């Protein structure tokens, strides 16, 4: 009996050692749909990270990359008057906020693509309507060129609208960013099953970074 128990323990230990650890990919610009990436980055195959930024949130506070230091976060692009995919995306981001409300390791970040309309005041009104937790989720506005560059050169998550300078066609993408500011996943923010996958991947990423 003792030998059987001991054998089971040994087999369990060997299995845990040999079982491959689940890891998420690290996305580079060259691996992403070219429509979503600035042309200067189409051939970049390594070392891609989110660039430094400085924007204002719904409370008029300055939000920078330092706000997300040592955090995993989910980013997206939207605008408050959008009547197509944005309401669904915002509802799903609110769902993620609720699921992770007690997890200080994970934050959310939504960038407006219409900063000329989405002022701090407008973002605050929207945040109150949507139940945004200020400690968890920043809705940000600011310089249009900076937001354009973040979308196309950092998060690789929006299409260019070439008819006007720094105009974007935002997409449904939610972008998962790790503590090293690397992109670890893209998810369709309009699809419930993608949100389930995103939440699962956040746990995988947390386990990866804890070890």
Residue 21: pLDDT over 80:
no
- The verdict on whether residue 82 carries a ligand-binding annotation is yes
Mean pLDDT of 2-10: 57
List all residues 6 or more positions away from 100 whose beta carbon is below 8 Å from its beta carbon: 106, 136, 199, 202
Residue 78: pLDDT over 90:
yes
- The verdict on whether residue 86 carries a ligand-binding annotation is yes
pLDDT tens for 45-60 read 999 999 999 999 999 9
| Percent of the chain whose pLDDT exceeds 70 | 90
Residue 96: pLDDT over 50:
yes
Domains of the chain: 24-210 (3.40.30.10)
Provide the CA 95 distance to its chain's centre, in angstroms: 14
- The verdict on whether residue 42 carries a ligand-binding annotation is no
Alpha helices in 19-169 (DSSP H): 86-99, 120-130, 144-149
> What CA–CA distance (Å, rounded) separates 11 from 8?
5
């Amino acid at each position: 009996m003792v030998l059987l128990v001991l054998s089971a323990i040994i087999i369990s230990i060997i299995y845990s050692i040999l079982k491959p650890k689940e890891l998420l990919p690290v996305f580079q610009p060259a691996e992403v749909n070219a429509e979503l990436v600035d042309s200067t980055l189409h051939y970049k195959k390594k070392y891609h990270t989110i660039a430094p930024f400085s924007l204002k949130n719904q409370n008029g506070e300055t939000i920078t990359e330092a706000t997300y230091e040592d955090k995993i976060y989910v980013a997206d692009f939207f605008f408050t008057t959008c009547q197509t995919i944005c309401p669904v995306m915002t509802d799903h981001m609110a769902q993620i906020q609720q699921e992770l409300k007690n997890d200080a390791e994970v934050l959310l970040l939504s960038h407006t693509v219409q900063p000329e309309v989405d002022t701090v005041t407008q973002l605050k009104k929207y945040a109150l309507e949507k139940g945004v937790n200020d400690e968890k989720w920043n809705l940000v506005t600011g310089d249009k060129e900076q937001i354009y560059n973040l979308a196309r050169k950092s998060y690789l998550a929006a299409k260019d609208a070439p008819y006007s300078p720094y105009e974007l066609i935002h997409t449904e993408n939610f972008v998962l960013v790790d503590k090293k500011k690397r992109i670890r996943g893209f998810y369709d923010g309009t699809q419930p099953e993608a949100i389930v996958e995103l939440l699962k991947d956040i746990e995988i990423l947390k386990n990866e970074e804890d070890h």
